[in-house]
Amino acid sequence: MHCVRTVTENLYWVGANDHRLALFENIHPIPKGVSYNAYLLLDEKSVLFDTIDWSACRQMLENVEYLLAGKPLDYLVINHVEPDHAASIEEILIRYPEVQIISTEKAFMLMRQFGFHVDSHPCIQVKEGDTYTFGTHTVTFISAPMVHWPEAMVTFDTTNGVLFSADAFGSFMALDGKLFADEVDFDRDWIDEARRYLTNIVGKYGPHIQALLKKAGGILDQIKYICPLHGPVWRENLGYFIEKYDKWSRYEPEVKGVLIVYASMYGNTEAAAQALAARLCEKGVRNVAVYDVSNTHVSYLISESFKYSHIVLASVTYNLGIYPVMKNYLEDMKALNLQNRTFAIIENGSWACKSGDLMQKFIDEEMKNMTVLNERLSLASALHDDKETELDTLANALVSDLNGDT
Ligand code: FEO
């Protein structure tokens, strides 16, 4: 049966939710599912904006068929060709042989690469600033390269103020009946998954998101709805989410606080991380978060790293190097272009303690615009009372830096 929601007059959400996929892009856990959003405009001509993942294709087809009520589908606008949205294109082409496809040059190239038979249909190639009219609705196309792939564009309906924003302004988590961000407690229930989505999927391309935000800024007063390809539609308080995207894509911390990520083999480095966390809280730091790098998927650590201003890395030495899972986290932060953070280091080694110097070298030489505090807590196997002063000095250095005293 169909399962659709009305976005606004003559515009419908025709996507689907997915709770069966364990790993998004086969790498990021999505325990609360994900939605694949597609939208159908019923004007004088009918227009489907993007398709969805193959796994949920059947639901989208039922939705589209129900709304078309026997009429043909006239246009298919493809904003983004990653298969979580584009995998069902071929099925639409088969079912609606008269459909005309509107997309960018690079997108058509990718569609052919993926094996879609687009050339048996009229292919309307558009570029930045082109417009198209479907009846009463006129849309303009805005290129959005690297948000998240090079072919990406967003489409703005100048008639009703709907921005089809592709991956931008998306989020992990299934919608489960809700459609609009104002139907959920976004700041309580969604923001962490929205940040985890953005930072892990598109985090590397902050400057490209900034370029898109700049273009959106030019039409901000006309945007009434933001319709992303994942997660809720925005029709209220758009500025809240735009501001988050602006911060994340500038690599500016969301909160002043301390994220402590530890790599501990037998609990001794963990004990030091916990002692520091307690000391920070005792000194009045409000936002302190502690994670075990070994049992936290790195996508969560990346999200938290984009959130917090200060990051403490606590690692044992392993094979005379950084503990492998900690090294992987560092490599991921680098790959996703995280910048503008202050780090502190706790190192541990029972006979040849190397992890501190190696983590510092990685941060200094491989990452951009990072600061490492000079105060370091060095452990030989375990934290003992003789390290009281070092622990306190490290905590004070963090507090002082958080307060902007340095
Ligand atoms: Fe949700 Fe880049 O695709």
Q: What is the pLDDT of residues 259-271, one digit of tens each?
A: 999 999 999 999 9
In the chain, the percentage of residues whose pLDDT exceeds 90 is 99
What is the distance between the alpha carbons of residues 229 and 144, in angstroms, rounded to a whole number?
Answer: 14
Q: Tens digits of per-residue pLDDT, 235-260?
A: 999 999 999 999 999 999 999 999 99
Ligand 1 atom index nearest CA of 202: 2
- The rounded Å distance from CA 311 to ligand 1 centre is 29
Give the per-residue pLDDT at 284. 97
Residue with CA at minimum distance from ligand 1 atom 3: 82
Phi, psi of 236 (to 5 degrees): -130, 150
C-beta of 28 in contact with ligand 1 (< 6 A): no
C-beta of 85 in contact with ligand 1 (< 6 A): yes
- The rounded Å distance from CA 167 to ligand 1 centre is 5
In the chain, the percentage of residues whose pLDDT exceeds 70 is 100
Q: Is pLDDT at 405 greater than 80 in this prediction?
A: no
- The rounded Å distance from CA 208 to ligand 1 centre is 15
Q: Confirm if 190 and 171 have CB atoms less than 8 A apart.
A: yes
Residue type, 180: F
Give the per-residue pLDDT at 327. 98
- The rounded Å distance from CA 148 to ligand 1 centre is 7
Q: Tens digits of per-residue pLDDT, 7-16?
A: 999 999 999 9
Give the per-residue pLDDT at 373. 98
Give the per-residue pLDDT at 229. 98
**How does residue 380 score in pLDDT terms, banded at 50, 70 and 90?**
very high
Q: Is pLDDT at 196 greater than 90 in this prediction?
A: yes
Q: What is residue 51's DSSP assignment?
A: -
Q: Tens digits of per-residue pLDDT, 298-349?
A: 999 999 999 999 999 999 999 999 999 999 999 999 999 999 999 999 999 9
Q: Is pLDDT at 146 greater than 90 in this prediction?
A: yes
Q: What region does 275 belong to: left with phi over 0, alpha with psi -120 to 50, or beta?
A: alpha
**How does residue 386 score in pLDDT terms, banded at 50, 70 and 90?**
very high
Coil/strand/helix, residue 270: helix
C-beta of 235 in contact with ligand 1 (< 6 A): no
Give the per-residue pLDDT at 73. 98
> Secondary structure of 75-125 in the HEC alphabet?
EEECCCCCHHHHCCHHHHHHHCCCCEEEECHHHHHHHHHCCCCHHHCCEEE
Give the per-residue pLDDT at 227. 98
Which whole number is the average pLDDT over 101-128?
97
Give the per-residue pLDDT at 406. 58
What is the distance between the alpha carbons of residues 379 and 314, in angstroms, rounded to a whole number?
Answer: 10
**How does residue 294 score in pLDDT terms, banded at 50, 70 and 90?**
very high
- The rounded Å distance from CA 310 to ligand 1 centre is 30
Q: Tens digits of per-residue pLDDT, 22-50?
A: 999 999 999 999 999 999 999 999 999 99
Query: DSSP assignment of 163-211, as one string?
Result: EEEETTT--SB--TT--BGGGTTIIIIIHHHHHHHIIIIIGGGHHHHHH
Q: What region does 311 belong to: left with phi over 0, alpha with psi -120 to 50, or beta?
A: beta
- The rounded Å distance from CA 304 to ligand 1 centre is 21
Chain-centroid distance of CA 200 in Å reads 5
C-beta of 53 in contact with ligand 1 (< 6 A): no
Ligand 1 atom index nearest CA of 36: 1
Q: Is pLDDT at 59 greater than 70 in this prediction?
A: yes
Q: Answer yes or no: pTM beyond 0.85.
A: yes
Ligand 1 atom index nearest CA of 149: 2
